[in-house]
Amino acid sequence: MAAVAPQADPQLASSASTSSTGTIVTFADSSFLPGPNSLSTIAPNSRAIAHLTRDVLQSVLVQPATSSSTSTPEPVANLKRKQPSGSGSASLNTRFGSFPHSSLLVPAGSQVRSASGTGFIHILRPTPELWTLSLPHRTQVVYTPDSSYILHRLRVRPGSRIIEAGAGSGSFTHASARAVYNGVHEHPPSTDTTTGQADGTKEEKDGANSALGPALSDGSARPPATLTGSQGRVLSFEFHADRASILRHELRQHGLHQIVTVTNRDVCASGFSLPDPELDIGGNTYATAVFLDLPAPWLAIPHLTRENGSLSQTKAVRICCFSPCLEQALRTIVVLREQGWVEEDLVEVAHKRLEVRRMGPNGREIGAKSRSQGDDEIKVASVEDSVGKLKKQLWHRKAKQARQREKLAKRRKLDEDGNEEVQDDDSDVDMDANDDEETEEVPEVVEEENGNGRLHLFNQGRVLVRTEPELKTHTSYLVFAVLPLPWTEEDEIAAKAKYTLPPRPAPQVNPKTGKDYTSGGKAPKPSADGKLSKNQEKKLKKAQEKAARLASESKSTEDTDV
C-alpha cells in the first residue's frame, strides 16, 4: 500500500525509458556502502574507524604501505581544523600507542596491537554513525538520534532525492547518502562496465594519493550526462566555500561523490534550482525530501516549489527544518503554512544514553572509582544488617563495660593498696583493644567463587542503569511538514471521469427500527441482483422480531405500571 510509483518525471522520461534497458547499476566503490570495498578486510586508501574507547573514536584514512612517502597535504590549511590523525603520516598515533598503517590492513573488527605492543585498539569499518562520532567538527553536528528520526520521518529511501541545505560538518550528508543509495546508475558509455569500474577505482586512487587537483575536487569529475535520474542522490548546499570544498574532498575519499552533489551556494538568496553545471542531473533537483539546517529556513522555503523544478513533480514532498530556537521554528511554521504545506509538526527529540553498572552487596558500585566516593560510604547492606550490627555493638559495649567494671573493682581493691598510676594506662589499652574488635567486624559478603577459589566480583550485587554523565538536553526543534501534490479542479474532473462514481445506493432504512444504514458501514449490502443474501435476511428478520418483542414488552410494562 505504501508502494510508490516509479519515478516518471516528464522531464526524465527520456532517461527513464532507457533505464529499463540500458542503465547499468553498479556498486559504489565506498567503504561506507556495500560493494567491493566493504569486504571484510580494510582496504588501502579507505576510511577506517579506530575504536579507542566507547567515547573516543578516531577516523583514519588508511594508506597503502608504498605511498606513505608521498602523502599529500589536504586543502584545508587555511582553516584551523584538527587534522584527522594519520592522514598525513603513515601511522596512527593514539593515546594507546602508535599503529603503523600497514598493521591496520586487517579484517574489519579486529583488535590491533600497537607497535610497542602495550596498547591496542579495534579497527572498524566506517558507518555514518561512527563517522559522526569521529569526524572533524566544523559546525554543530547533527547527531544520530536526530538524524535517524529525521530520515525515518522524511521517508528517505533508496532512489530518493534529498536536498540538504547547510551541509556543515557532513554528518547528516553521510547518513542520507546511505539512505538514498541504490547503486550507481550509469548509461553505458562506449566502454563496457568493467572498464568503467576500473576507471572509477583508478580515479579514486588518484584522488586519494596525488594532490587533489581543482578539477577533481569539485565532485563532478565524471561526465555528468552519464548518470541517470533513477539513482538516489543527496543534493547538498553549503554557503561556506571552504566547508563545501572540504566536504567534497571527504566525500571523494569516502567514495560517496557519485551519490552526493555538493554545491557552494547561499540557498536563501539564490534558491535550490538554478541551472548549475555542478548539478549533473540537469540543474533541477526534483527532490522528494528536504532537510534545512539553516539559521533562517523561512527565507529558503519560498524557493522550494514544484514550479521552479526544485521539488518533485510526481510525489508528495516532505521537509524537516532543524532550528535550535523556538522562535525560529515558529516562524518557519508560519511560512510553511503560507506556502501550502500541511501536516506541520513541531517536535523535539530527547535522547539519553544509558550506563550500566553493578551495585555490590554493600551498596557500592562495582566498577566505579571508589576513590571518588569519599569516606562516607554506605557500609551496611540492609536493615537487618544494620540492626544486627548495632545489636552486636551493644553486647560488645556491655561486655566492655562489664570488663571495665571488673577492672575498676580490681583497681579499687588495688587502690586500697594505694596504687593510682596504673589505672590510666590500663584504660588506654582497653580502648585500643576495643578499636581492633570493631574493625574486625566486617559484614559478611556472600562471595561467589569460581573453580580456582577466586571471587567473581562481576557477578555480585545487582545491575544498575543510569544516564550518561553529560546529557544533551536539547539539540534542536524539528519542524516537519508535507507538501501534497497540487490538485486543481480540472484534475478532479479528470479523475471523476476516470473513476466514475457508482450510482448512489438507495437509502437503506430498516422499516421497523427506522434506522438509516446508508451512511454507516454496517449496512446489509444487497447482492448484485438487489436481493439480500439468506444470512442477511435472517438477521433482518431477527432484528424485526426483536424490535416487535421489545415494543410489545414495553407496552405490557406500561400497562402494568398504570
Partner 1 sequence: MELIQPHDEVLIQLPSETTKLVKIVPDSIIGLGKFGSFPANSLLGRPYYLTWNILDGENFGLEPVPISELNSEKLATHTVPTTSSDPTKASKKSKATDSSTPSGVDSPGLALEDSAIGVQVGEDGEEDDEDVALDAGMLEQELEREQKLWEAEMKNNRDIRDDQTAQSMTWQEIEKLKKSGGTGSGKEIIARLLQSHAYIDKKTAFSLAKYTKRKTNKYLKRIRVIPADVPNFTHYLITQKEPLKMLEIRDEAMGLLMNWADVKWGGRYLVIDDTGGLVVAAMAERMGLLAGEDARAPKKVSSARKRKREETDDGKDVKEEEAPIPQVDTSEAPEIVEAAQREANDHPYNTPIKPKTGYEQTSIPVSNTITVLHTQDQPNLSLLRPFNFDTANLINTTTHPLSSHLLSLSFLQLLSPESDVTLERPPLITDEVLRTLKSVKRSNYHRKCRRQERLLNIVSSTRRGSFDGAIIATGMELSGVINTVTPLLKGSGQLVIYSPSVEPLSEVVDWCSTLRRTEFMRIKKETDAASEASGTSLQQPQLHVLDPDNTNPDIDPATLDTLKSLPKLPAHTSDEYFPIDPTNLLAPTIHTSRVRTFQALPGRTHPLMTSRGGSEGYVLHATRVFPILEGKVEARGKFGSRKKGGGGERSGGGGKKVKMSASLNGKKEDQMEVDRVD
Residues 34-93 that bind partner 1 (CB under 8 A): 34-36, 38-40, 51-56
- The answer to whether 184 and 231 have CB atoms below 8 angstroms apart is yes
Report the site for partner 1 in 519-558 (rule: CB under 8 A).
519-523
- Minimal distance, residue 3 CB to partner 1, in Å: 4
Q: Nearer to partner 1 by C-beta: 395 or 487?
A: 487
Candidate segments 59-67, 418-426, 477-485, 535-543, binder of partner 1 by CB under 8 A: 477-485
Nearest approach in angstroms of CB 59 to partner 1 is: 14
Judged by beta carbon, residue 209 or residue 362, the one nearer partner 1 is 362
Q: Using CB under 8 A, which residues numbered 275 to 334 contact partner 1?
A: 296, 298-299, 301-302, 305, 314-316, 326, 329-330, 333-334
Residue 472 binds partner 1, judged by CB under 8 A: no
Contact with partner 1 (CB under 8 A) among 395, 412, 473, 499: 499
For residues 380 and 386, the answer to whether their CB atoms sit within 8 Å is yes
Interface of this chain with partner 1, residues 388 to 427, rule: CB under 8 A: none
Binding to partner 1 in span 14-33, by CB under 8 A:
20, 23-27, 33
Stretch that binds partner 1, among 67-75, 214-222, 383-391, 518-526 (CB under 8 A): 518-526
Q: What does the H/E/C string look like for 513-534? A: CCCECCCCCCCCCCCCCCCCCH
User: In whole angstroms, what is the distance from residue 243 CA to residue 526 CA?
Assistant: 68
**Which one-letter DSSP state was computed for residue 68?**
G
> 236 - beta bridge partners?
164, 262
Q: Looking at 44, 60, 96, 170, which residue binds partner 1 (CB under 8 A)?
A: 96
- C-alpha distance from residue 363 to each of 54, 369, 384 (Å): 26, 14, 14
The residue from 78, 500, 535, 560 that contacts partner 1 (CB under 8 A) is 500
Nearer to partner 1, 337 or 538 (CB): 337
Q: Between 315 and 411, name the residue whose CB sits nearer to partner 1.
A: 315
Question: 10 Å Cβ neighbour count for 381?
Answer: 19
Distance CA 200, CA 203 (A): 5
Q: Does 458 bind partner 1 (CB under 8 A)?
A: yes
Which stretch in 76-84, 119-127, 243-251, 384-392 sits in contact with partner 1 by CB under 8 A?
119-127
Helix (H) or strand (E) holding 387: helix 383-415
Helix (H), strand (E), coil (C) string for 228-284 = CCCCCEEEEEECCHHHHHHHHHHHHHCCCCCCEEEEECCHHHHCCCCCCCCCCCCCC
Ranges within 155-194 binding partner 1 (CB under 8 A): 155, 157-159, 175, 178-179, 181-183, 193
Q: What are phi and psi of 262, to 5 degrees?
A: -95, 125
Is 386 among the residues that bind partner 1 (CB under 8 A)?
no
117 binds partner 1 per the rule CB under 8 A: yes
Task: Please state, in angstroms and as integers, the Cα–Cα distance from residue 413 to each residue in 401, 410, 416, 426, following that order.
Answer: 18, 5, 5, 15
Binding test (CB under 8 A) with partner 1, winner from 202, 456, 538, 555 = 456
Kindly indicate which of the ranges 58-66, 67-75, 249-257, 440-448 contains the residues binding partner 1, using the contact rule CB under 8 A. Answer: 440-448
Give residues 337-376 in contact with partner 1 (rule: CB under 8 A): 337-354, 356, 358, 360, 364, 366-371
User: Is-contact 103 92, C-beta < 8 A?
Assistant: no
Nearest approach in angstroms of CB 299 to partner 1 is 7
CB atoms within 10 A of CB 482: 16
Q: Phi/psi class of residue 68: alpha, beta or left (left: φ > 0; alpha: ψ in -120 to 50)?
A: alpha
Compute the least distance from the CB of residue 206 to partner 1, in Å: 22
Question: CB neighbours (10 Å) of residue 520?
Answer: 9
When the beta carbons of 192 and 545 are compared against partner 1, the nearer one is 192
**Nearest one of 379, 373, 371 to 445, comparing CA atoms:** 379
Q: Which of 502, 511, 514, 530 binds partner 1 (CB under 8 A)?
A: 502
Contacts 24+ apart (CB under 8 A), 363-372: 365/464, 366/457, 366/458, 366/460, 366/461
Instruction: Indicate which single residue of 84, 86, 128, 200 sits in contact with partner 1 (rule: CB under 8 A).
Output: 128
Per CB under 8 A, 107 contacts partner 1:
yes
